[in-house]
Structure 1
Amino acid sequence: MKVIKLDAIDSTNEFLKGLSSKKDLENFTIVSTNCQTQGKGQMGAVWASEVGKNLMMSILVKGFIVNISQIFDLNIVISVSVIEVLESLNIPNLSIKWPNDIMSYNKKIGGILIENSIKSDGSINSVVGLGLNVNQTNFNNLPRASSLKVICDTNFDRDQLLASIGNTIEKNILLSQNTPSICNSKYRNYLFKIDVPMPFSNQNNIKFMGIIQGVSSIGKLQILLEDDSIVEFDIKEVQMLY
């Protein structure tokens, strides 16, 4: 597992995508930085972080996705891998808020952004970006954000976290290639507010009650409604009100 460490960069995802387009990098190459000036989240959201406090990394995954229907499978493996590492550090009350926010209690401590590109030979490369709040304690104007330090009242070694997460992702990727569904049940069990009646809002800002049942094979959130029907929602089509 090759690790490229940078002091500052606009985006680890953009850097790794550019580097992989110019040269043949080994699988699971990681780029990390102390300062990311244009960090990205899902659907163009901005990921802001204090310099030197958090883990900002991107990892190259080659050959896992062989067709477009498998895209969410990678999301599952990555999310579960991060949770497993944090569980080993005794971070309490961990869950995955669909599709890939890492939560402790009701607070977001991390997020994942996966970008895929099709090579000229038809193979698909994925660049997986992870932002994890580690030792930052100031979250002004971010009432739903937290960090490992805030939750556990201790500092964490970011280099050790990076190595553990990288190794766990590699292990689970290789396991999932042989047993594709190995992480699926874990992902469902980790889902934030699974099987709990919750208020939601759809893209038209209409509020409704529902119960999360799971996620479809292509990554849509399955919600049981009050009329006993199960409706599937894509990203940005539904918002959980909690």
Structure 2
Amino acid sequence: MKVIKLDAIDSTNDFLKSLSSQDKLENFTVVTAENQTKGKGQMGAKWESEVGKNLIMSVLVKDFLFDNEKVFNLNIIVSQAVIEVLKSLNIPELTIKWPNDIMSYTKKIGGILIENTLKSDGRIVSVVGLGLNINQTNFDDLPNASSLAVISGQTFDKEILPSLIVEKIKHNINLWLNNSETLWENYFNLIFKKGIPMPFKNKADQNFMGIIQGVSAVGKLQIVLEDDSVSEFDIKEIQMLY
């Protein structure tokens, strides 16, 4: 596994995307940074991280996705890889807040951003960005955020995590080829607040009650509404109020 370590960069995803234009770049190449000045979340949201305290990484994944309608499959694989590594560190009450926030109890401890590029020959090259709060302890301006250190009461060696996560991603890709149904089922079971009546806000700024039922094949959140109908929502079309 090739690892490129940077002190500071605007975005590890952008850096790795520019490198990935070289077709000979090794699959599962990883870029890490101690500081990221323009970190990104879903749909352009900003991701902030205290310098040197957290894991900021991006990994190149090639030769897995071949259908633009199935890009969410990689989200299923990566989010569970992160959860599995965190479980091995005894981090409690882990869930996935749709689509890609990593939660412990009701606090966000990490986020995943996957950016896919369609090549001229039809191949899809993916850059998987991961921000994981490790040893940061000050979240005064982020009341819904926390870290492994705050939750567990101990500090962690973040340098060992990239290789552990990549190995789990590889394992899950191999598992997917033979048993994708199990990974989908596991993802459903890990969804934050699944099956619990919750307040939501839609893109028209209207509040409503609903129950998360699951996720569609293309990654839309399925919610049972008060009239028992089921609606599907894309990223940024809905916000959970918790």
Q: Residue type of the partner of 1:11?
A: S
- Specify the SS of the correspondent of 2:162: helix
Deviations 1:167-189 (A, max 9, x none): 11111112213333331111110
Written as runs of structure 1 = structure 2, the 5 A alignment for 1:22-33 is 22-33=22-33
Q: Give yes or no for the alignment of 1:98 onto 2:94.
A: no
Q: Percent identity?
A: 65
Q: Residue type of the partner of 2:186?
A: K
| Worse-superposed segment, 21-30 or 172-181 | 172-181
Written as runs of structure 1 = structure 2, the 5 A alignment for 1:219-234 is 219-234=219-234
Name 2:200's counterpart in structure 1: 200
- Specify the SS of the correspondent of 2:180: coil
- Specify the SS of the correspondent of 1:180: helix
Q: How far apart are the structure 2 equivalents of 1:174 and 1:13?
A: 24
Q: How far apart are the structure 1 equivalents of 2:224 and 2:23?
A: 47
Q: Give yes or no for the alignment of 1:181 onto 2:166.
A: no
Q: How far apart are the structure 2 equivalents of 1:221 and 1:19?
A: 33
Q: How far apart are the structure 1 equivalents of 2:198 and 2:20?
A: 42
Q: Residue type of the partner of 1:212?
A: I
- Specify the SS of the correspondent of 1:102: strand
Q: Which runs of 4+ in 1 moved over 3 A?
A: none
| Worse-superposed segment, 127-136 or 7-16 | 7-16
Name 1:190's counterpart in structure 2: 190
Name 2:78's counterpart in structure 1: 78
Deviations 1:99-138 (A, max 9, x none): 0000011110000001011122221100000000000011
Q: How far apart are the structure 2 equivalents of 1:49 and 1:233?
A: 29
Q: CA deviation at 1:241?
A: 0.7
Distance 1:210-1:108 versus aligned 2 partners, 3 A rule: same
Name 1:39's counterpart in structure 2: 39
Paired residues of 1:101 and 1:111 also in contact (CA < 8 A): yes
Q: Residue type of the partner of 2:218?
A: I
Q: How far apart are the structure 1 equivalents of 2:23 and 2:238?
A: 40
Count of aligned pairs: 242
Give the RMSD, CA atoms, in angstroms.
Answer: 1.0
Gapped regions of structure 1 (runs ≥ 5)? none
Written as runs of structure 1 = structure 2, the 5 A alignment for 1:1-242 is 1-242=1-242
Q: CA deviation at 1:23?
A: 4.7
Q: CA deviation at 1:140?
A: 2.1
Deviations 1:32-86 (A, max 9, x none): 1111111111111111111110000000000111011111111111111111111
Q: Residue type of the partner of 1:145?
A: A
Q: How far apart are the structure 2 equivalents of 1:176 and 1:159?
A: 27
Q: How far apart are the structure 2 equivalents of 1:49 and 1:56?
A: 8
Deviations 1:195-240 (A, max 9, x none): 1111111111111111101000000101111111111111111111
Q: How far apart are the structure 2 equivalents of 1:73 and 1:108?
A: 22
Q: How far apart are the structure 2 equivalents of 1:230 and 1:78?
A: 27
Paired residues of 1:149 and 1:155 also in contact (CA < 8 A): yes
- Specify the SS of the correspondent of 1:178: helix
